[in-house]
A and B are shown apart, each in its own frame.
Chain A
Amino acid sequence: SYELTQPPSLSVSPGQTARITCSGNTLPKEHAHWYQQKAGQAPVLVIYKDTERPSGIPERLSGSKTGTTVTLTITGVQAEDEADYYCQSADSRGTSPLFGGGTKLTVL
């Protein structure tokens, strides 16, 4: 079955740049979205339509797309950025949403 592939974990030091990738064959023609989920909380939409940032989301979070890979970049990582991050796009037929497996970001 079709999948969106994310690395399970990523560790960065405060002030560094974190890049979380998500790969899938339909990404060239389907929008991708990113969610941040902190422990015990509901997910929050942080990037939609590949690169758009909802109001209230810090500018240091940004999204990009190259071919079959989308990337969430967090510049100047802070302790508060420690969370699970999920990409989301459409399934192989474009008829329903699909989540990646999630990436646990640890701030050292």
Chain B
Amino acid sequence: QVQLVQSGAEVKKPGASVNVSCKSSANYYMHWVRHAPGQGLEWMGVINPSGDFATYAQKFQGRVTMTRDTSTKRIYMEMSGLRSDDTAVYYCAKGEGDTWAMDVWGQGTTVTVSS
């Protein structure tokens, strides 16, 4: 049974950076999705199993970096230049086979951006 365990909640000031981690049982394609208050789900990007390729939603290009440590099976999502509208729950989610579906989700990490 695949489980994804994410790091704890973060509180950051505007302009700061945040690094959220996700621990997996194996190296899969891993997506990051966020859910802002009162909004829908928003796909941010995906990293491949070996960690040598990541692709990002256009909205986040230049501000988000996804990396992974294959030896520890941890995946990281770093976002810089935080703004108040980045306040959201951030999820890692395992890619399903050869589709864009996401079949296992982490428990979510709340990131609050406030001065």
A residues at B contact (CB < 8 Å) = 31, 33, 35, 37, 42-45, 48-49, 54, 86, 88-90, 95-102
Contacts and interface: CB of A to CB of B under 8 A. Distances in A.
For chain B, what secondary structure do more than half of its interface residues adopt (helix, strand, loop), or is it mixed? strand
Interface string B29-62: 0010101000011110010000000010100000
For chain A, what secondary structure do more than half of its interface residues adopt (helix, strand, loop), or is it mixed? strand
A95 B43 CA distance: 12
13 contacts: A31-B99, A33-B100, A33-B101, A42-B107, A43-B33, A43-B91, A43-B105, A45-B96, A86-B41, A88-B100, A97-B100, A100-B40, A101-B40
Contacts of A35: 41, 102
What class of interface size applies to chain B in its complex with A? 20 to 34
Contact of A88 (B35, B101, B105, B108): B101
